[in-house]
Structure 1
Amino acid sequence: MKKKKRSLLLATTIIGLSAILSPLATVGAANDYTVSNWTREHVTNIELNDRNTAPVINMDELEKLDEGYHTWDTWPLKDKDGSVAVVNGYKIIFALSAPSHVLPGQVHDIAEVRYFYSKNGKDWISGGPVFEKGDALGSRQWAGSAMIDEDDQLHFFYTATGRKGEERITYEQRFAKASADVVASKKGISFKNWSDHQIILEADGEYYQTQEQGSQGDIAYAFRDPEFFKDPKSGEEYIVFEGNSSGAPADRSCLPEHSGSPEFAESHDVPEVSVLFNGSIGIAKASNEDYTEFELLPPLLEANCVNQELERPHIIVKGNNYYLFTDTHFDKFAPGITGPEGLYGFVSDDLFGSYEPLNGSGLVIANPEDNPYQAYSWLVLPNGTVISFVHFSDLGDLEIADVGHQSHEFQFEHFGGMPAPSLKIALNRDRSHIVTELGQGVIR
C-alpha cells in the first residue's frame, strides 16, 4: 500500500500520465505526497450488515449530561500521543451545547463549549462553560479538540464561526486556539490563566475552498473541526480538519478518478450537479511550539463528486497503520450514489500515504435502517471505544429534513441532545467490525 514519496519533478511527470494512476490517489503537485480519493465506486460497495450496524438506541433509557442543556459533538481531553488524558484521576470531556429550551434546528446558531469530568469515565459532572463569557472568538463556537502537554498546560483548538457582534448570523469558519492551566482538586476540575484567543488558520483558496469561492454556487462551506494529531513516527505535530476542495464550482469538474477504476468509470454516469460535492480532509503542520502558527498542506483525502461534508476527521495509529475516520450524513452524498448516516474510515501505512477505504467502501458504523438518524458525530479513541451523541430517534417515515416542520413538542420529543451508548470496534488492517455496545457516554 505504501507509495514512495515523489519529488516535484516526478509528480509533474506523473500528472501527465494520470490516466494510468490508481483510481484512489492523485498527486499533490506542489508537494511530495499523494492526495487520496474516496470514489463513487467505493460508495457503491456499501452494504449494511451485523458487523457495521449499530444497535437500536432506546432514548427513554438515557439521560442528558446536564438537564439544562442539549449537548452534541463531544471530545475528550487527550495527551499528546492521542490517548485519553487522566488529570489527578479525572477524565475530562468537552461538548457543544445550547440551552435545552432551544429548538434542535437552532442549536448550532448559539453553540458554546461546556465541559464535564468523571473519575470512572461514565458518571459525568458538569463543570460549566469552558470559556468566560465574551472571551471566545466568533459569534458561536463549533467543534475542535483539546490536548494537555507535559507541563499540564491545556491547548484548546476550536472553530470560531461567524464574528463577534455580527448583526446577522454568518457561516465564516476559522480555527482558533487558547491555552490554560488545568486545576484539579477535591472539588473537581477547573481552568485558569487563559491566554488570549488567537486565530491560527484560515482557508487559503489554493488547497481549501474559501467562503468567497463557495458562495459562487456551492451547496455549503466548511473549514472546521480542528483535531490535534502528533505523528508517532516522525514526532511532527499537526491539525487535521474538515474542508472543501478549492475553487468555485465553475473551476471544478468530475474526473474519471473521482468515479473509480477505469472499468467502473467507463460505464458509470455522473450527474453534472455532482461537481458541487467537494468534501475534503485537510491537514496543517505546526510551525511553532505555541501552536499558534501552522502551514497548510494539501488534503489527505478528497471526496470530489462523491460527498459534500467529511466532518470531524481524526486519526488513530495502531501498529504500523494510520486510521483516518470521518462522519457524514446520508444527504451529503452526490446524486447517483448513496450511503447511510455513519462513521467512515480509511487506512494507510504512512500519514501521507495512499488511504484505502476500510471494508472496501469506507463504512465502519451505520445507524440501523429502522432508526437511520439515531446517532451522529462518532469519534474513535485509540483503544477502539467510539463515542457519539443521540440525534433524532424514532422518526418513523419522516426524513430528517421534515423534522423542522413538525410541532415544537414533536421536535423536542425526538431529539436526543445527549451522549449515545458508546461502542467498541475492532480494527484489523483494512477491516473493522463492531464488537459490543458499552454504556451511555462511556470513555475507556
Structure 2
Amino acid sequence: MATAEGSPFPWRGGELWFALAAPVHDDPEVRHGVARIHHFHRIGGRFEHLGATFPMDFTPGSREWSGCAVTDGQDVTLYFTATGARGEVAPSFLQRIFAATAQLQDSVEAFSDWSEPVEVVRPDGVVYMDEHEATGRIGEIKAFRDPGFCRTSTGVDCLLFTASSAEGRDSHNGVIGCAVRDGEGMFRIQAPLVEAVGTNNELERPHLIEHAGRCYLFWSTQAFAFAPGIDAPTGLYGAVADDLFGPWRLLNGHGLVLANPETEPFQCYSWWVLPDLSVGGFVDYWGIKDALAREKPEGRRHFGGTFAPFLQLQLDGDVATLADGYA
C-alpha cells in the first residue's frame, strides 16, 4: 500500500503489502485459476499474513489478479484485475480492471467494509484488444490487467496496465497501456507508453517512479513470452523519459534491468521498484534449470510462492544497475 506518489505508507510500525495467494495444490500452476488478493503486515523485515482482502464472491471475477493499493491515510483504493466471471464452471481469461475503496483502520482488521467494485477502465477494441477471454496457455493469452496507479510530480493521475495491441494483431503484441484521470474523476484511455508488437506478448505489472527529474517505467516479462528467434531472459525491464508521455528510451540500450542467473532462470518474478530504488519480487521456482522440470512432481516441490529478498537498484540517466553488494 502506497501514497499516490508511490512511497510505502507506514502502518502499525511497518507497512501493509498486498499479494496474490492461493491454497496449496500438488501442481503450483493451479494457482492462476484460484488466486485471490491477500494482505500482509511487513514489519521488522518479515511479512505477517493477515488474510484475504475481499470477502469470498465479492468481486465480479472467478478469481483476482494483480493490481495496486493507494491511500491518503484515511481511505484505501485497491485497483485490481477481476479475472474470469463469478460462477463460471471452467476458468476463462476474461480480464477487467476494477477499483474498490475502504477506510484504513489501525487494527489487525486493517479495513472497513469495501465499497462495491467499479470498473474504472475498459479496452476500446481500437487501441487495446477487448478479446482476451479465451482459454489458453499461460504466457500466450491476451491481456488487460495489472493496474498500477501513479501521480506524477506535475499532478497527473495515471493508471498503467498490461494490455494487447488491437492495431498490431500479432501473436506477440504486448503493450503497456495508460489511462489518465480527467477533471470529472474518470480514467480516459491514452495511447500505449511502450509497445512490443512482434517482440513480446506480455509486459506485466507496469509501474512508474520518478527519480532525479526523470520518469522511469518498469515491467516484468518471461523468456517464453518473447517471439521465436529472440533470446532474452526472464527479468525486470525498463525505460526512461523526461515525462509520462515520452518519448521513452530503453534502459541500458536494450531494456533489461535485472535477470535471474543462468543457473536459476526461474527463481524470481514479478518485480516492483519502489521510489527508494529497492526492488521486491516473488520466489517462483528455485533450484531448477530445466523448464520441463517444473512440470514434474519433483520440480513442483521447488516452487517458492513467497516474497523474495529485496534488491537495490542504482539509476544514472539511461543506465540502471544493481547496487554494490547485490550482484
Superposed pair shares fold, TM > 0.5: yes
1:297 is paired with a residue whose SS is strand
Could you list the per-position Cα deviations for residues 10-49 of structure 1 after superposition, in whole angstroms to 9, with x for gaps in the alignment?
A: xxxxxxxxxxxxxxxxxxxxxxxxxxxxxxxxxxxxxxxx
1:390 paired with 2:286, answer no
Aligned to 1:167: 89
Aligned to 1:105: 29
Aligned to 1:180: 102
Q: Identify the match of residue 147 of structure 2 among 218, 226, 234.
A: 226
**Deviation of the 1:126 alpha carbon:** 1.5
1:358 paired with 2:251, answer yes
**Deviation of the 1:90 alpha carbon:** 3.0
1:331 is paired with a residue whose SS is helix
Structure-1 separation of matches of 2:315 and 2:104: 33
Q: Identify the match of residue 66 of structure 2 among 121, 129, 143.
A: 143
- AA aligned opposite 1:182: L
Matches within 5 A, 1:400-419: 401-404=292-295, 406-407=296-297, 410-419=298-307
Matches within 5 A, 1:13-28: none
Structure-2 separation of matches of 1:98 and 1:132: 14
| Contact 1:104/1:415 (8 A) holds in 2 | yes
Gaps of 5+ in 2: none
2:175 is paired with a residue whose SS is strand
Flag the structure with higher strand content. 2
**Deviation of the 1:363 alpha carbon:** 0.6
**Deviation of the 1:219 alpha carbon:** 4.0
| Contact 1:422/1:437 (8 A) holds in 2 | no
Q: Identify the match of residue 320 of structure 1 among 207, 213, 218.
A: 213
**Deviation of the 1:402 alpha carbon:** 5.0
Aligned to 1:153: 75
2:310 is paired with a residue whose SS is strand
1:280 paired with 2:175, answer yes
Report the CA distance shift for 1:114/1:212 in structure 2 as closer, same or farther (over 3 A).
Answer: closer
- AA aligned opposite 1:200: V
Report the CA distance shift for 1:139/1:361 in structure 2 as closer, same or farther (over 3 A).
Answer: same
Q: TM-score, normalised by structure 2?
A: 0.93
Aligned to 1:119: 43
Structure-1 separation of matches of 2:244 and 2:99: 24
Matches within 5 A, 1:13-412: 77-101=1-25, 103-120=27-44, 122-150=45-73, 152-185=74-107, 188-211=108-131, 219-233=140-154, 235-247=155-167, 249=169, 275-287=170-182, 293-396=186-289, 398-399=290-291, 401-404=292-295, 406-407=296-297, 410-412=298-300
Report the CA distance shift for 1:317/1:100 in structure 2 as closer, same or farther (over 3 A).
Answer: same
Report the CA distance shift for 1:428/1:212 in structure 2 as closer, same or farther (over 3 A).
Answer: closer
| Contact 1:421/1:437 (8 A) holds in 2 | no
Higher relative contact order (CA 8 A, sep 6+): 1
Q: TM-score, normalised by structure 1?
A: 0.69
Could you list the per-position Cα deviations for residues 41-88 of structure 1 after superposition, in whole angstroms to 9, with x for gaps in the alignment?
A: xxxxxxxxxxxxxxxxxxxxxxxxxxxxxxxxxxxx000111111134
2:29 is paired with a residue whose SS is helix
**Deviation of the 1:287 alpha carbon:** 3.3
| Contact 1:315/1:324 (8 A) holds in 2 | yes
1:327 is paired with a residue whose SS is strand
Structure-2 separation of matches of 1:358 and 1:222: 24
| Contact 2:98/2:118 (8 A) holds in 1 | yes
| Contact 2:92/2:134 (8 A) holds in 1 | no
**Deviation of the 1:411 alpha carbon:** 3.7
Flag the structure with higher helix content. 1
1:340 is paired with a residue whose SS is coil
Q: Identify the match of residue 311 of structure 2 among 420, 423, 427.
A: 423
Could you list the per-position Cα deviations for residues 418-437 of structure 1 after superposition, in whole angstroms to 9, with x for gaps in the alignment?
A: 11111001000000111156
C-alpha RMSD of matched pairs (Å): 2.0
Query: Between Structure 1 and Structure 2, how many residues are aligned?
Result: 323
**Deviation of the 1:118 alpha carbon:** 3.0
Aligned identity (percent) is 36
| Contact 2:143/2:162 (8 A) holds in 1 | yes
Report the CA distance shift for 1:212/1:138 in structure 2 as closer, same or farther (over 3 A).
Answer: closer
Structure-1 separation of matches of 2:4 and 2:53: 20
| Contact 2:293/2:299 (8 A) holds in 1 | no
Structure-1 separation of matches of 2:162 and 2:251: 19
Report the CA distance shift for 1:340/1:82 in structure 2 as closer, same or farther (over 3 A).
Answer: same
- AA aligned opposite 1:360: G
